[in-house]
Structure 1
Amino acid sequence: MTPLKALWNHLTATQVAPPLWLVVLSGFAALAVVAYPISWHYSRGLITIAHEGGHALVAVLTRRKLRGIRLHSDTSGVTLTRGRPTGPGMVATAAAGYVAPSLIGLSAAWLVADGRITLLLWAVLALLTCMLLMIRNVFGAVSLLVVGGAVFALSWFAPPDVQSAGAYAAAWFLLLGGVRPILELQAKRRVGHAPDSDADQLARLTHVPGTLWVLLFLLVSTASLVYGGYLLASRWLPM
């Protein structure tokens, strides 16, 4: 067997599903992290990484020039692109951020439900590496290195049951954590504290009210949470 074939077999190998109690426990743990203000303050940066990664990926797919990504210690971030200031590419890039964590969480849930834990962990490492190449500030680089190091350690050193627990917890966290920033966004917009948010930029680009964009974000994230939760529990649901 060639090394490339062996690597592919390793990445695509399936792992035995953990017990149901571990899946439920990981979900409640993720919910506690998202719901508790202090833990959310420290973990929200992971959602920001997914948010800015969504902007960056769609910018590349729509052939906008990606100039760089910045992640800040207050859990905010910015993705800089160059290209037409209007048009479908700009709209898609602006719309991608708030739905990216939920859609990544849904993809993670699909892989986890299929037992592809190793493939999920290495896919995350690949995405983090691509983002690291475009980071333009020290805090952002350190953040990605820390997260990437943790994912690598989980994939390389942890036993299979620990990997499964970590993968389920990560999927739950992305699905649940993708909803809260959207609710926070609308709360800020209601009092006029987010005049340049993604929703307001989209309103200026499309002449569709920003509130409708927020509702679209919320619809996507809620649907992802419901279906992703179903996927994560599907092995134990009656057929």
Structure 2
Amino acid sequence: MDSSTTATDLWNRVVGNQPHPSTWLIAVTGAVALAAVTPYGVWRITRNAITIAHEGGHALVALLSGRRLDGIRLHSDTSGLTVSRGRPSGIGMVLTAAAGYTAPSLLGLAGAALLAAGHTTALLWGAAALLAAMLVMIRNAYGALTVVVAGAAFVLVSWLCGPQVQAAFAYGVVWFLLLGGVRPPFELGRKRRHGGAPDSDADQLARLTSVPAAFWLLFFHVVSLASLAGGGRWMLAA
């Protein structure tokens, strides 16, 4: 087998369609994802994955809007920080600030669209590629370890496991992003009601746009809930 044939086969595997799993498997992975999001003790651990998506959203939109990305830090308390340079105001800064809380849900929605179209392998490889790109900008050891572990999981599942396991993993990840994206805006709202998080993304957006932080918090809720409804419908109807 020559290298061109191997490359062609690999490309066809990535972009090709995979069979849809049974509805019961999709429902079970959704239940597992819900169990990973709901109990507080479990959420303290699994929230790290949502933080990766949150900070990755800030970073990606910062680059797309022409800002210079200085680095990303992920912390063991599930907080994170993305630092970029550029104009301190304007549409680029607004989009960058708005991307964090919406990123997990929108990534989940995009993943649901790929799964509904039968592109399970493309989703797994695409996620691994995004994590690899993010790793370059990580600036602390804990953050690097978290991203490496997450990326390794996608690579190992896509390379070593059969179609059913790949499908279960992919659907579980997408359900987790959709469900996990709903909880942080509620947590932010609770903190703000008790006088906490004065420099939250919603408060930064309020200062940038002169639109109240409550509006931006509502925006985060709308995006997360609409993504969950739309993504869930696509996956269950596939």
- Per the normalisation by structure 1, the TM-score is 0.96
Q: Aligned-pair distance for 1:16? A: 1.3
Alignment of 1:111-126 (within 5 A): 111-126=114-129
* Match among 149, 153, 156 for residue 153 of structure 1: 156
Query: Which position in structure 2 is the counterpart of 1:183?
Result: 186
* Match among 87, 96, 100 for residue 99 of structure 2: 96
- Runs of 5+ in structure 2 lacking a partner? none
Q: Aligned-pair distance for 1:14? A: 1.4
SS of 2:136's equivalent in the other structure is helix
> Aligned equivalents of 1:6 and 1:82: distance in 2?
42
Letter in 1 for 2:178: L
Query: Which position in structure 1 is the counterpart of 2:144?
Result: 141
Q: Aligned-pair distance for 1:18? A: 1.2
SS of 2:77's equivalent in the other structure is coil
SS of 2:71's equivalent in the other structure is strand
Query: Which position in structure 2 is the counterpart of 1:75?
Result: 78
* Match among 207, 231, 234 for residue 231 of structure 1: 234
Query: Which position in structure 1 is the counterpart of 2:12?
Result: 9
1:214 and 2:217 correspond: yes
Query: Which position in structure 2 is the counterpart of 1:131?
Result: 134
> Aligned equivalents of 1:7 and 1:69: distance in 2?
32
1:165 and 2:164 correspond: no
> Aligned equivalents of 1:68 and 1:216: distance in 2?
26
Number of aligned positions between the proteins: 235
Q: Aligned-pair distance for 1:2? A: 4.7
Alignment of 1:196-211 (within 5 A): 196-211=199-214
- Superposed CA RMSD in Å reads 0.9
1:110 and 2:124 correspond: no
Letter in 2 for 1:181: P
Letter in 2 for 1:163: Q
> Aligned equivalents of 2:124 and 2:80: distance in 1?
24
> Aligned equivalents of 2:185 and 2:5: distance in 1?
47
Q: Aligned-pair distance for 1:3? A: 4.6
> Aligned equivalents of 1:57 and 1:145: distance in 2?
18
> Aligned equivalents of 1:3 and 1:208: distance in 2?
54
> Aligned equivalents of 2:6 and 2:163: distance in 1?
22
Q: Aligned-pair distance for 1:54? A: 0.3
- Runs of 5+ in structure 1 lacking a partner? none
> Aligned equivalents of 1:20 and 1:65: distance in 2?
44
Q: Aligned-pair distance for 1:20? A: 1.1
Letter in 1 for 2:169: G
Query: Which position in structure 2 is the counterpart of 1:43?
Result: 46
1:52-87 C-alpha deviation (Å, 9 max, x unpaired) = 000000000000000000000000000000011001
> Aligned equivalents of 2:24 and 2:6: distance in 1?
37
- Per the normalisation by structure 2, the TM-score is 0.97
